[in-house]
């Protein structure tokens, strides 16, 4: 069930590619290049597409040259930052892949409390530099995630309830538009485009650098990571709902249903059994963390308690090994106005029947600083929702594609049919099969206007596409 596999694309003649090679300092990779297959591969092994050209850009000037070349040669453009979009929109079939991964530089302005990072940077690149000063911006929860896709689609993570979305922390950005122009966007320049890229995805141009606000975080935080047997799932969810009602903003907890991994940290007789775990962090005084999390820890008898003080960078990379390159992934999301018994029952039932024990069903506790921002202040619409359910189907072998995708879709459809469910989140899009309007609510028409202004020919359409007016 690999997405859109094909034979090798037709080689573009050298004479056609020569003008691009002259303008681009980075490496140009064609299908006959020995590194082609390695370079075109992205995180989700379900995606197997073959671009005609890959340009490994070293800076904004390279990106401008690529956009111009693609427009002049009628080539479809895809843009890869970290390459972690689960739908695989970062790689084109037969077009030009603009690879930003060499553009991963990070610079902290300690006095201004900002950090600027290239469009190819990953979360870990940013955290590594900012933590030197005990600072962080609100990004995701897996250090190998690219900052570009995460931010452009909103961006939830450990710090969201305290400091907002990644998009809310964006101060400015450099954007290469469809006509090859370079714009620096902020609250003080090209405000309409700045509004749109904060949640509107990759619809409006190639963002080559991001500038974020920084906050005092770390270098040490308290990680809360406790596992319970699946038999206790309902009890733990009851405790979580009560805890979430008045949880402090500097404390987070994300419950997820899973199966107990075959690791020494867990009792061997429990390996492979259904489980519910809670992962979060507390950024206050370390000594207060036990009291903050006591209602959750005492909800049932833990199978394993891996909590304790750790460096913030370590917290951000705790899940990295669970989402390696080359695994097969299908993730979907839906927002919830309430975490009802019916939602919990569906999640528990499907976790028990998951065809892959690598899969999880997650419940994100939202609100806080995210909900403080008016829904029309940025393109990101679903700020008012207190919870989000995500189904993460993760498996190893191609032979399991149909069973795992079907399992995820069946679970998702049951939850999405409930009155408490609505909307979608752009960073967990399945294969982007749902209507784009479900991401943007009443912001959609305004996004169409911005798209029509900056990309009237829909050059940037390999995304959850907002079509310009014709």
Residue 421 has pLDDT above 70, yes or no: yes
- pLDDT band at residue 3 using 50, 70 and 90 as cut-offs: low
Average pLDDT of the chain is: 96
Q: What is the mean pLDDT of residues 230-259?
A: 97
pLDDT digits (tens, 9 = 90+) for 456-466: 999 999 999 99
pLDDT digits (tens, 9 = 90+) for 130-185: 999 999 999 999 999 999 999 999 999 999 999 999 999 999 999 999 999 999 99
- pLDDT band at residue 244 using 50, 70 and 90 as cut-offs: very high
Q: What is the mean pLDDT of residues 427-432?
A: 95
Phi and psi angles of residue 316, each rounded to the nearest 5 degrees, phi first: -65, -20
CA atoms within 13 A on the CB side of 91: 30
Beta strands, E only, 123-253: 135-136, 170-176, 182-186, 206-213, 215-216, 220-229
pLDDT digits (tens, 9 = 90+) for 335-377: 999 999 999 999 999 999 999 999 999 999 999 999 999 999 9
So what's the pLDDT on residue 242? 97
- Domains of the chain plus CATH, in order, are 14-99 (3.30.43.10), 106-217+444-454 (3.30.465.10), 220-422 (3.40.462.20)
Residue 6 has pLDDT above 90, yes or no: no
Q: Among candidates 212, 159, 196, 222, which has minimal Cα distance to 369?
A: 159
Q: Determine contact, residues 211/172, Cβ cutoff 8 Å.
A: yes
So what's the pLDDT on residue 113? 98
Percent of the chain topping pLDDT 90: 97
- pLDDT band at residue 9 using 50, 70 and 90 as cut-offs: low
pLDDT digits (tens, 9 = 90+) for 33-47: 999 999 999 999 999
Q: Among candidates 166, 167, 170, which has minimal Cα distance to 116?
A: 170
pLDDT digits (tens, 9 = 90+) for 215-228: 999 999 999 999 99
So what's the pLDDT on residue 11? 79
So what's the pLDDT on residue 470? 82
Q: Among candidates 53, 9, 10, 58, which has minimal Cα distance to 28?
A: 53
pLDDT digits (tens, 9 = 90+) for 277-296: 999 999 999 999 999 999 99
CA distances from 203 to 268, 437, 461, 465 (A): 48, 13, 6, 6
So what's the pLDDT on residue 32? 94
For residue 47, the 8-state DSSP code is B
CA angle 433, 435, 437 (to 5 degrees): 150
Residue 276 has pLDDT above 90, yes or no: yes
């Amino acid at each position: 069930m690999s997405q859109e596999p094909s034979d090798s694309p037709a080689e573009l003649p050298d004479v056609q590619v020569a003008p691009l090679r002259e303008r681009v300092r980075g490496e140009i990779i064609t299908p006959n290049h020995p590194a082609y297959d390695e370079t075109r591969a992205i995180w989700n092994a379900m995606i197997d597409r073959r671009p005609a050209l890959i340009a490994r850009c070293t800076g904004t000037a390279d990106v401008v040259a690529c956009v111009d070349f693609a427009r002049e040669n009628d080539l479809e453009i895809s843009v890869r930052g970290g390459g972690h979009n689960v739908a695989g929109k970062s790689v084109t079939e037969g077009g030009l892949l603009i690879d930003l991964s060499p553009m991963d530089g990070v610079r902290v302005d300690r006095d201004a409390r900002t950090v600027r990072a290239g469009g190819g940077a990953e979360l870990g690149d940013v955290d590594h530099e900012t933590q030197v000063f005990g600072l962080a911006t609100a990004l995701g929860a897996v250090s190998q995630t690219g900052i570009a896709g995460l931010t452009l689609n909103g961006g939830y993570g450990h710090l969201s309830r305290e400091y907002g979305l990644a998009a809310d922390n964006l101060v400015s950005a450099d954007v290469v538009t469809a006509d090859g122009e370079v714009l620096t966007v902020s609250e003080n320049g090209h405000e309409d485009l700045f509004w749109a890229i904060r949640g509107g995805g990759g619809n409006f141009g190639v963002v080559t650098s991001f500038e974020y606000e920084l906050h005092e975080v770390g270098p040490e935080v308290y990680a809360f990571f406790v596992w319970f047997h699946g038999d206790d799932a309902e009890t733990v969810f009851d405790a979580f709902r009560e805890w979430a009602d008045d949880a402090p903003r500097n404390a987070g907890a994300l419950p997820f249903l899973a199966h107990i991994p075959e690791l020494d940290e867990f009792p061997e007789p429990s390996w492979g059994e259904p489980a519910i775990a809670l992962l979060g962090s507390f950024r206050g005084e370390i000594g207060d963390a036990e009291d903050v999390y006591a209602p959750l820890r005492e909800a049932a008898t833990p199978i394993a308690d891996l909590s304790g003080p750790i460096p913030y960078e370590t917290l951000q990379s705790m899940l990295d090994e669970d989402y390696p390159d080359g695994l097969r992934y299908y993730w979907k999301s839906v927002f919830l106005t309430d975490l009802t018994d019916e939602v919990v029952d569906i999640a528990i039932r499907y976790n028990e029947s998951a065809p892959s024990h690598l899969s999880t069903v997650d419940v994100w506790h939202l609100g806080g600083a995210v909900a403080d921002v008016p829904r029309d202040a940025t393109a990101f619409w679903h700020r008012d929702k207190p919870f989000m359910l995500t189904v993460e189907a993760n498996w190893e072998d191609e032979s399991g594609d149909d069973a795992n995708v079907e399992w995820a879709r069946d679970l998702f459809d049951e939850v999405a049919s409930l009155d408490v469910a609505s909307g979608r989140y752009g960073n967990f899009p399945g294969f982007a099969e749902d209507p784009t309007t479900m991401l943007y609510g009443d912001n959609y028409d305004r996004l169409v206007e911005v798209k029509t202004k900056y990309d009237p020919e829909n050059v940037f359409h390999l995304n959850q596409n907002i079509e310009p007016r014709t």
